[in-house]
Amino acid sequence: MNKTFWQTKSLSEMDDAEWEALCDGCGRCCLLKLEDADSGEIAFTAVSCQLLDVDSCRCTDYPKRKQLVPDCLQLNRDNVASTEWLPQTCAYRLVNEGKPLFDWHPLVSGNGDSVHEAGISVRGKIISETQVHPDSVEEFVIHWVN
């Protein structure tokens, strides 16, 4: 079996194209999250960042996302390990922890829609923050099954 870059390189060894290819396009990292002030626990909501295309699960202005959404966390090689809220299915988290990618990951399946077909992505499960009053976001807390 030929090993591929995510099996042979650490995140810090990957070039920019390899780094970007790791994203499975699930859109979960683009969901608004709420932090409990007492426990520090993070809760995901079914509300996406205004820049997320809820059908494609991709950012509509990826190059300028940090300027347009100042609290957008730009995941990078230095903060993956400390970003504890990354989903258990996230390829960045998996590679960082030395675990294999799931069969539905587009790099494994060879199919860009496999993340959606497997039900891992947020497609069809969320709404944009542009459709929700800011005071109502906590009404949209969700819990992922996978």
Predicted confidence at residue 12, as pLDDT, reads 95
Question: How many residues does this entry show for the chain?
Answer: 146
Q: In which residue are the tokens 């069969």 written?
A: 103
Residue type (1 letter), 45:
T
pLDDT per position as a tens digit, 9-45? 999 999 999 999 999 999 999 999 998 889 988 899 9
- pLDDT tens for 64-115 read 999 999 999 889 999 999 998 899 999 999 999 999 999 999 999 999 999 9
Cα Rg, the chain, nearest whole Å? 15
Give the Å distances, CA to CA, from 69 to 2, 32, 50, 52, 54.
40, 12, 8, 11, 17
- Check residue 146 and give its pLDDT: 54
The predicted model scores a pTM of 0.89
Chain centroid, CA 53 distance in Å: 13
Task: Quote the pLDDT of residue 84.
Answer: 87
Token representation of residue 42: 């993070």
